[in-house]
Chain A
């Protein structure tokens, strides 16, 4: 009997869409490694102006909890879809997107505090490195929110246990963004 799975018939049973996402994520590892090493090298080379000690732990810790919870919501969306419960899957996708928006709002509040206290991207090398690392990560979160919303709202009638790759691909990206935040949280906020 002929199978309709996209990977059926290939010698290695992989889905080309998932393969593409993994290759993309592999390239993102190098991208964020470059940013983080630049931060590590530059952040304590400040001769004047704000330093790393300006950073508060409160908002980043709450944001860590939010992103970890959103990852649970994302993986539950995939699990429910695979179990045939599309309605619950879409609800979890929307929950994930909402938690991502909460992360971005809190990031905006944190940036607002920093700017008010004089920590701007151009104030010194620490400011540049800090905004580069956290800003690129926040941009990835924003892309993830748009991606998840487009899957939840745009593809909602086409999602099924047989067609779960759109949710899985968005989930892989989202979990990777979470993984990067785990590194940023330790390097930028905890290791001083």
Chain B
């Protein structure tokens, strides 16, 4: 089998960082601090590591990144509109 020399990121290290972030997420629960900013920050960091390193969007074709990026504003719009409509009608 023909082998090509590839330089890969340290995937195990990325995995360890993801698990450490998860431990930090769970540890925040119950602490007397505003939890939402921490939880959002931790989950965004985890999502970035997964997308950039495991899904290779950091190094792969920009076209894939664009394809994957375009529904996120739509999804956020959907979240915003639905929450606004629901709470708007309840108010």
Instruction: Name the distance in Å between B19's Cβ and chain A's nearest Cβ.
Output: 6
A37 touches B1 (CB 8 A): no
Is there a chain B Cβ closer than 8 Å to A98's Cβ? no
Chain B residues closer than 8 Å to A25, beta-carbon distance = 68
Please state if A161 and B74 are interface contacts (CB–CB under 8 Å): no
Q: Of B1, B46, B54, which contacts A86 at CB under 8 A?
A: B1
Interface size of A in residues (CB-CB distance below 8 Å): 51
Chain A, residue nearest B29 (CB) = A190
Point out the residue from B5, B53, B75 that lies within 8 Å of A30, measured CB to CB: B75
Residues of B within 8 A of A84 (CB): 1-4
Q: Which residues of A contact B28 (CB under 8 A)?
A: 190
Q: Chain A interface secondary structure, helix, strand, loop or mixed?
A: helix
- Chain A positions within 8 Å of B, measured between CB atoms, are 12-14, 18-19, 22-23, 25-27, 29-30, 33-34, 36-38, 40-41, 57, 61, 64-65, 68-69, 71-72, 74-76, 79, 82-86, 160-162, 171-172, 175-176, 178-179, 182-183, 185-186, 190-191
Contact check: which of A30, A83, A182 meets B4 at CB < 8 Å?
A83
CB of B5, distance to nearest CB on chain A (Å): 8
Inter-chain contact A37/B2, CB cutoff 8 Å: no
Bitwise, B60-85 to A at CB < 8 A (1) or not (0) is 01011001101110111011001100
B19 touches A65 (CB 8 A): yes
Q: Evaluate whether A75 and B11 lie within 8 angstroms (CB atoms) in the complex, with A65-B22, A84-B3, A179-B50 already known.
A: yes
Also in contact, A41 and B82, with CB within 8 A (given A182-B47, A182-B50): yes
A–B pairs, 18, beta carbons within 8 Å: A33-B71, A41-B82, A57-B29, A61-B26, A64-B22, A65-B19, A69-B15, A71-B54, A75-B53, A83-B3, A83-B5, A160-B2, A172-B55, A176-B55, A182-B43, A185-B22, A186-B40, A191-B35
